[in-house]
Every structure is written in C-alpha cells, then in structure tokens.
Amino acid sequence: MNTHHVKKEQKKSILKKFIISLISILMIPISFYFYATEIERRLVSVTWNEIEAPTIPKEFNNKKILQFSDVHLGPEFTLKQLDNLVEKMNELCPDIVVFTGDLIDKFGSYNEEREEAKEILRKIHAPLGKYAVFGNHDRGGGGSLFYKRYMEEAGFSVLVNDVQKIKVENGKYITISGLDDLLLGKPQIDSTLKNLRQQDFNMLLVHEPDVVDKVAGYPVDFQISGHSHGGQVQIPFVGPLITTKLAEKYVEGMYELEGKSKSLYLYVNRGIGTTRMPVRFWSVPELSVFVLKQSSN
C-alpha cells in the first residue's frame, strides 16, 4: 500500500475523531442549557412532610396542608400551566391550602390574563380554607393596590399582619398568622405574634424565610415560607449559585429550630415559576404537602 495514502488516511481518522470529540464536548453545555430552560422549569414535584406537635388537636390529626409559592405568572408561566397546577393540587385533596407570595412576576404589566388566572385559582378546593400572604412581587409594580382584593375574589383569606383560627365543627382549632412582605411591605412581627398562646398549634405564613430567627422568640410551631426558589440554579453537591436577600440562610426544605418556648419547624418551598431568567437547574419546582400529627409529648 502507498505510504503516502496510509498517512493521509490516518490524518483523516485523527481529524474525524477530533471533530466527534469536539462536538461531544460542545453538546454537554448545550444539553444542560436545554434541560434547564425547557425541561426542569416545567416540572412539578410533590414533597411530603409530617409535622408533629403535642399542641395539634386530635381533630386535626392527618389533616393535609398544601403549600404553593412563587408562581410568577407571566410570559414564562402560562395560564395553561397554572390550570395544570391547580388540577394537580386538587388531586392531592388538601384540607388547607396556603400560598406564600409572588403570584405574578410583574403585576402592573400583567393585565389581560389576570381575570382568567383568578378564575383558575378559584377552582382550588380546600374545605378548611385557602390562605395567602404578600410577596415582594405582589407589593411591587402596582400590586399593592390590587393583590389583596384579587386573591380574596379567588377565595383566599389574605393575612396582612393578621391571625385567624382554623376551626372544625366541635370548635377545636389551630391558628394561622400572616406577616406582610418584609422587603416592600410593613410587617408587624411583635403586634401580630405576641398574643399567640403556647398551648395552641400556631402556624405562620411569611414570604421571606430568614425572618425565622426573629419569629423563634414567639410561640410559633410552624413557619411556611418561599421566596428563595431554592436558589433557582444549583451546582450539584455544592448548592445555590446565587441566593436572594432574606433567603440566604434558609434556602430550601425543612429546618427544625429551638424556639424560645417550643420547637419551631420552618419549611422553605422552592416555588413554581422563575424570575429574572426562565431557567432552573437542580431546583425542581415543587408543591409541599404537610400532614399534621399529634405527638404524645
């Protein structure tokens, strides 16, 4: 065989392998980008947790609380996605539904579809009530003027530095409190929480989780928060690429803290939508379900 021909074929083979290797290397970041922008951010996982406390009345044993948060309705989260989300929520048969803020990404510029979104939210079924608080996006962009009435028309009780009792037929109850948004609202922590009774099971809704260190001074059993998006983009085994103000210490999942008068659970939901960039990686959108359990001590 001609030596020149052999060398030429060898060079072609090396070049071919190099091109294949280069394409393979380039495909890795492209694949990650496609997954983060087109797949993960459209997923919804369901996270289950049991909340145990001796202050939970036996009448509330096995009652389910469903949390959703940070929907950020807009161009990147459509009405169809919201409708699918509500259908999924109703399939979980919650007794209580709580929304921990940031319904619409830019409240002032989201006009035409607001009414239809409200009708979809109205379809959420929860026999013991639907409750919501303000997030920073609900306060910004003109949302302060409309959000409370909007959510009430969708069947939610909006808690703004307020405490309510969730009662069953025989009069037994748990309490649910809500603080105004910490970034753009006027939260009143002390006046809202100071009259809570230690012998009651007391839940708190507040958009930003890091306030829990202040909340621990009051007889709150369970704080439910959002805001963080779980970082929205995480590096596997390292953690969030970026954290946001007042969701830097507590980013996602369940935390158990020692409060001044009793143990305090905190749950930080990763949220449903996205903001700033339509991307999620290693931070799958979630619905959270909490099953109440009366403990013996």
pLDDT exceeds cutoff 90 at 228: yes
- Single out the residue of 125, 49, 53 nearest to residue 89, CA to CA: 125
Which token pair is 202? 């007391």
Mean pLDDT throughout 203-220? Answer: 98
Predicted local distance difference test score (pLDDT) of residue 143: 87
Pairing status of strand 263-268 against strand 253-258:
antiparallel
User: What would the pLDDT profile of 49-91 be if each residue is shown by its tens digit?
Assistant: 999 999 999 999 999 999 999 999 999 999 999 999 999 999 9
Pairing of the two strands 202-205 and 222-225: parallel
Confidence label for 1 from pLDDT (cuts 50, 70 and 90): low
What would the pLDDT profile of 262-281 be if each residue is shown by its tens digit? 999 999 999 999 998 999 99
Q: Distance between CA atoms of 135 and 68, rounded to whole angstroms? A: 12
Which pLDDT does position 132 carry in this prediction? 99
How far is 47 from 67, CA to CA, in rounded Å? 10
Outline where DSSP puts E strands in the chain.
45-53, 64-68, 96-99, 130-132, 157-158, 162-167, 173-178, 202-205, 222-225, 234-235, 239-240, 253-258, 263-268, 286-294
pTM for this entry: 0.92
Query: What are the start-end ranges of the H helices in 92-231?
Result: 114-122, 136-139, 143-153, 189-193, 212-215
- The whole-chain average pLDDT of the chain stands at 93
Do residues 219 and 197 touch, judged by C-beta distance below 8 A? yes
